[in-house]
Amino acid sequence: SQTIHQWPATLVQPVGSPLSLECTVEGTSNPNLYWYRQAAGRGLQLLFYSVGIGQISSEVPQNLSASRPQDRQFILSSKKLLLSDSGFYLCAWSDYLNTHEAFFGQGTRLTVV
Amino acid sequence: DAKTTQPPSMDCAEGRAANLPCNHSTISGNEYVYWYRQIHSQGPQYIIHGLKNNETNEMASLIITEDRKSSTLILPHATLRDTAVYYCIVRVRLWDNQGGKLIFGQGTELSVKP
């Protein structure tokens, strides 16, 4: 069966420090991968998505970047965190053949202080 | 993607059916209705989706009106573990090779009470 792993679960970082959040998927090949952020309120905002190794699309301009060094690995990074980067970050994957369902990781609660 | 409107919150007694409404009056003919839920501090979980016909799975039932301008998610026997925020989303395909441009909106916070 397929599983998605996201870590760490919680993170407290000072302003100006770097960030690296990692997401890996098991049990599938060539997944579509996504990074979302949930800030104030409940809505989720798509940050990045990837349909293959080295292929990254950004949805909104921001202080973050993403990389996909391996087929089932997706990394969210920042060189210098801002207070506004605080939030709940979620990684998700979907099967490129099944366009109706997506699977989310458990999320990372990031607090920038 | 069509806009959806949901009540911000609802209560339901444990063991009773929970009926969560969603309005999507501008839905296009090729757009699906999706439902996800998010339990506090966890990732969203897929529940069900449909196009025209009513759908049922092990988690819930989805009732879509004939004109497709509204739908209702039904949890037949709500339990305390069903307490979550429920999101109704309308789009052509939820996930495709053009990117998962998923807009969850604010959803309905369902509280199941003993």
pLDDT tens for each residue of B20-33: 999 999 888 888 89
* A96 inside 8 A of chain B by CB: yes
CB A98 within 8 A of CB A92: no
Q: Do B95 and A99 touch (CB under 8 A)?
A: yes
Range with the poorest average pLDDT among A85-89, B21-25, B40-44: B40-44
Determine, for residues A101 and B46 on separate chains, whether the beta-carbon distance falls below 8 Å: yes
A59 vs A51: CA distance, rounded Å: 14
- C-alpha A35/C-alpha A17 separation (Å) is 20
pLDDT at residue B93 in the model: 63
**Above 70 in pLDDT, residue A61?**
no
Residues in B touching A7 (Cβ below 8 Å): none
Q: Does A100 touch chain B (CB under 8 A)?
A: yes
Contact call for A94 and B100, based on CB within 8 A: yes
Pick from A56, A100, A103 the residue to mutate for testing the B interface (most B CBs within 10 Å). A100
Q: Cβ of A3 under 8 Å from any chain B Cβ?
A: no
Arithmetic mean of pLDDT, B75-100: 80
Q: How far apart are CA A23 and CA A8, in angstroms?
A: 9
Contact B104 A44 (CB under 8 A): yes
Of the partner residues B43, B85, B105, the one whose CB lies closest to the CB of residue A105: B43
Q: What is the amino acid identity at position B105?
A: G
Burial class (CB in 10 A: 0-12, 13-18, 19+), B89: buried
Contact list in A for residue B32 (CB cut-off 8 A) is 100
More confident: B101 or B99? B101
Q: Which residues from A are below 8 Å from B42, CB to CB?
A: 106-107
Q: What 3-state DSSP class applies to A40? A: coil
User: Which residues lie below 8 Å from residue B22, measured CB to CB, with a gap of 6+?
Assistant: B4, B5, B6, B33, B35, B70, B71, B72, B73, B88
Interface check for A102 against chain B (CB to CB < 8 A): the answer is yes
Q: How confident is the model at residue B74 (pLDDT cuts 50, 70, 90)?
A: very high
Q: Which two tokens stand for residue A54?
A: 């080295």
B94 pLDDT tier (thresholds 50, 70, 90): low
pLDDT at A44: 81
Q: What is the pLDDT of residue B10?
A: 97
